[in-house]
A and B are shown apart, each in its own frame.
Chain A
């Protein structure tokens, strides 16, 4: 599997990272190097092997569905780059 500049651009878009057009070929090269390293995994016979989800076999614990926390608007917004009137503020989303 080889990654070209177009694929690199698509991955960058999916990852929401702006990559200038002129940097795409170099990025594609780097990603190809890493992907080639991963291709070694194709040598392994994984037939009938369960993919690991959790390193310690465990069932995630359930808890009672009740409110345990809250009323922390100020703390929640304290680190926001832009917060107004008790909300996070972002550029206009809906036209």
Chain B
């Protein structure tokens, strides 16, 4: 077999079990592809020794029979996950040199299932960004280009390295995390599948915290089937995360029948934004028609508080971030500023955090500090939490009407150029999350599925939103959409 790095999880699993290929061969193909792809800046810490050891162990296990689905599958891991003995920096200068003494629950579960770690993937600093331009490692480049134009494009963010690596076949799949759209927006920008599970489905233990009530990790893969398989290995209750749900993990792959006859798909009218590009509008209409043709019933619905989701998010997320990031004080881990004569502990904190945090992280920490400060707590933070309750209720009302899933665009545009937003107001960048952020606020599962190309040849994605804890049903609807859309385009290799 050639081009083994181009396989997805399901194909590789089947080939491994048949003995047509070994994990060592898959791993070497990926390591070679990573070596050639420096221009994408997706992998930032490579772990070939760990990968080869894990692959050899996986091959032994597969030969013995009864190996789990993820056994022998080479993966990329977002830098936000703590991996024992391997740099885990959240793409921030403040965690320079940090090598965790422990392993995150999700990555531990993946290694226990026999998966192979190729290395750590670039991202926006502390997962704060929508274009992967806030990373201490530099920008990630999208493997896709606008036709013959060689201007570098963003892979989206914050899981930009994961998106770029999967789309460019540097790994079979990758982990991502999603606080306001950080799995789904980059997945849409590079033409792959990205799933944010229900809040509490996957343990947050050992994942560097951004906004704890919103953060959720999930798989970024080459197909819906792969997302179902990988979620099965990532999910599950963890006593070390008090918000992780004590629910059994179903066989998500078994839910993929492709039969969505009689399912009710809601089309929320508030997602039809002013100034939405005609191509996005058309993609959404096409996707609606595909689900209808597959036998689903299309229902127009209303989520009246949609407009307030982004402003509520940009109160709640920075507030939680300002608390979570208080731990970076130059005492216990990471960077400490060089101190001057007579500098005390306050100067140490202030200089360390000024040097260690990039501008976007500083901005969000300060916004969070402001909305939580005496006199503003009620006006901003409590009001935003109340609006969040209303946003969640909008979805509950839709589901109680019998809606099984909602279909929306994943992003308001295709991938834009790196640097194109440099002079824009920070709020302009935040608008990237307009279709995805509601899902985090309501704790729901959401999935981005590639559904077409724009006129410049760039991928566009659709988003499906499901009922809480019903990822199986959501994945099945996504599977039907994937079958109907038949998206098979790949970026032309230039790197």
Residue among A31, A41, A72 facing the most chain B CB atoms (10 A cut-off): A41
Q: Does B242 contact A (CB under 8 A)?
A: yes
A4 shortest CB reach to chain B, Å: 13
B327 shortest CB reach to chain A, Å: 12
User: With A11-B373, A19-B354 as given contacts, are A38 and B315 in contact (CB-CB < 8 Å)?
Assistant: yes
A47 shortest CB reach to chain B, Å: 9
B243 touches A54 (CB 8 A): yes
A-facing mask of B380-424, CB < 8 A → 1, else 0? 101111111110100000000000000000000000000000000
Task: Choose one: B350, B373, B386; the contact of A16 (CB below 8 Å).
Answer: B350
- Give the docked Cα–Cα distance between A31 and B390 (Å): 26
Stretch at the interface among B10-18, B287-295, B333-341: B333-341
User: With A56-B443, A79-B101 as given contacts, are A44 and B308 in contact (CB-CB < 8 Å)?
Assistant: yes
Taking CB atoms and an 8 Å cut-off, the chain A residues in 3-42 that contact chain B are: 3, 8, 11-12, 14-19, 27, 30-31, 33-35, 37-42
A52 touches B388 (CB 8 A): yes
B331 touches A80 (CB 8 A): yes
Contacts of B383 in A (CB 8 A): 41-42, 44, 46
- Give the docked Cα–Cα distance between A38 and B322 (Å): 17
Q: Does A86 contact B (CB under 8 A)?
A: no
Contacts of A42 in B (CB 8 A): 383
Contacts of B61 in A (CB 8 A): none
B387 touches A46 (CB 8 A): yes
A91 touches B344 (CB 8 A): yes
Residue of B nearest to A14 (CB): B369
Q: Is the interface of A mostly helix, strand, loop or mixed?
A: loop
- Give the docked Cα–Cα distance between A52 and B351 (Å): 35
Q: Does B269 contact A (CB under 8 A)?
A: no
A52 touches B385 (CB 8 A): yes
Q: Does A51 contact B (CB under 8 A)?
A: yes
Residue of A nearest to B339 (CB): A91
User: With A17-B365, A41-B315, A44-B305 as given contacts, are A56 and B243 in contact (CB-CB < 8 Å)?
Assistant: yes
Contacts of B388 in A (CB 8 A): 51-52
Q: Does B160 contact A (CB under 8 A)?
A: no
Q: Does B98 contact A (CB under 8 A)?
A: yes
Q: Does A70 contact B (CB under 8 A)?
A: no
Contacts of A11 in B (CB 8 A): 366, 369-370, 373
Task: Choose one: A15, A30, A61, A88; the contact of B242 (CB below 8 Å).
Answer: A61
B354 touches A17 (CB 8 A): yes
Residue of A nearest to B331 (CB): A88
Q: Does B311 contact A (CB under 8 A)?
A: yes
Contacts of B99 in A (CB 8 A): 78-79
User: With A17-B353, A30-B426, A56-B199 as given contacts, are A80 and B333 in contact (CB-CB < 8 Å)?
Assistant: yes
Residue of A nearest to B346 (CB): A16
B331 touches A90 (CB 8 A): yes
- Give the docked Cα–Cα distance between A14 and B370 (Å): 9
A55 touches B322 (CB 8 A): no
- Give the docked Cα–Cα distance between A50 and B312 (Å): 15
Q: Does B363 contact A (CB under 8 A)?
A: yes
Q: Does A93 contact B (CB under 8 A)?
A: yes
In the complex, besides A34-B367, A39-B311, 7 extra interface pairs with C-beta distance below 8 angstroms are A16-B329, A18-B351, A33-B426, A41-B308, A41-B384, A51-B382, A51-B386
